Copies of this chain bind each other. A is one copy, B any other.
Amino acid sequence: MNALPATIVAALASVLGDGPVPLHEPHFDGNESRYLFDCVASTYVSSVGAYVDRLEADLAEFTGAKHAVATINGTSALHIALLLAGVQPGDEVLVPALSFVATANAVRYCGATPHFLDSQESTLGLDPAAMRSWLAEISTMKSGECVNQATGRRITAMVPMHAFGHPCDVVGVMEVAAEYGLPVVEDAAESLGSLINGQHTGTFGLLGTLSFNGNKIATTGGGGAILTNDTQLAKRAKHLTTTAKVPHRWEYNHDEVGYNYRMPNINAALGCAQLEQIDSFIASKRRLYDIYLEALRQVNGVTLFSEPRGSRSNYWLQTLILDKDKVDQRDEVLETLNDNGLMARPAWTLLSSLKPFLGCPSAPLTGARLLEQRIINVPSSAGLA
């Protein structure tokens, strides 16, 4: 009889009580209903409205990005950001194998191919050193463009992702990207409020993307945003997300294939109320981290993931890392936690292992594969502490 699953359950139950405790649920303790009511009263519930403008301004202020463009979800934000970064059909885009499927799907929407990279234990994100040696091995520069020698395809962008809200080493990643002339699109879907050296995640790359899905630290029901300091790119983002309609008093002229990706005002109303509470959400999650740390101190075989040095995590999802010699117990731990009403989930199945991405180019995934076997996310809602 193995003790680890039971010990973890006991430690978490000492914090959470008997459950059931969801993995993550949103909190609506602010102006949500008031703003929704006001939005309906205004009749502006769709893609134009004061709450959309305000949410974009609030996001720009909160993140320090010069521009924020609200979108219908994080996936659509990533799709547009990749297009704006210059990704074209037939290209390859470097993405972490350890990420949510949206990261790779968005590449596919551009007609491009994801090229998977390894992640590191210290950040759960892209490993700059591994990336550097991989690119040195497989790529060549042709007329200033980075080309995968094995496939002959151009590599045209790099997408670091801040897993579970914990900042990856985007500074290190950007150094490697610069060596190969690659624009960086920062997938900050999970890291609203997470900082690196005081700078908000999603504002390091040429473009960054946020998500406000229902499971995120702040939600608009469904929603996302594109961040950028480049005014021209921000304008293009708005154009492409608004069916590429050329402004005119009545004419319907669309000058390129565009998308119906603007966030509705009704969703933005929810988002404005949520953003007012973001500091308290983060504070609560950081308290929960401290409490979990204490509760797990005596549990051997597992570590609570701590924000990388120099960064501040929003601790969107609290992350347990099993010891390397305990990976065979991952599923039993997951089962025991869920059976006891403490909702838990593993990391994503590596994207390189999913049917739609089999055969896509991939670096060695030693780090990512090990993390996949070791990670367990446990209940993390704001308000639990």
Residues on A facing B (Cβ under 8 Å): 25-28, 32-33, 36-37, 40-41, 43-48, 72-76, 100-102, 105, 108-109, 111, 213-215, 219, 221-222, 243-245, 249-260, 262-267, 270, 334, 338, 344-349, 354-356
Contact A75 B259 (CB under 8 A): yes
Contact B108 A111 (CB under 8 A): no
As for how many copies of this chain the complex holds, the number is 2
CB-CB < 8 A to A243: which residues of B? 101-102, 105
Contact A72 B72 (CB under 8 A): yes
CB-CB < 8 A to A222: which residues of B? 46-47, 72, 260, 262-264, 267
The listed residue with most B CB atoms (<10 A of its CB), out of A101, A102, A344, is A101
CB of A327 to closest CB in B, whole Å = 16
Contact A266 B257 (CB under 8 A): no
Contact A249 B108 (CB under 8 A): no
Contact B338 A250 (CB under 8 A): yes
Contact B102 A260 (CB under 8 A): yes
CB of A26 to closest CB in B, whole Å = 6
CB-CB < 8 A to A221: which residues of B? 45-46, 264-267
CB of A138 to closest CB in B, whole Å = 24
Sorted nearest first, the 6 A-B pairs with minimum C-beta distance are A46-B214, A221-B264, A221-B266, A75-B260, A222-B264, A252-B348
Contact A267 B264 (CB under 8 A): yes
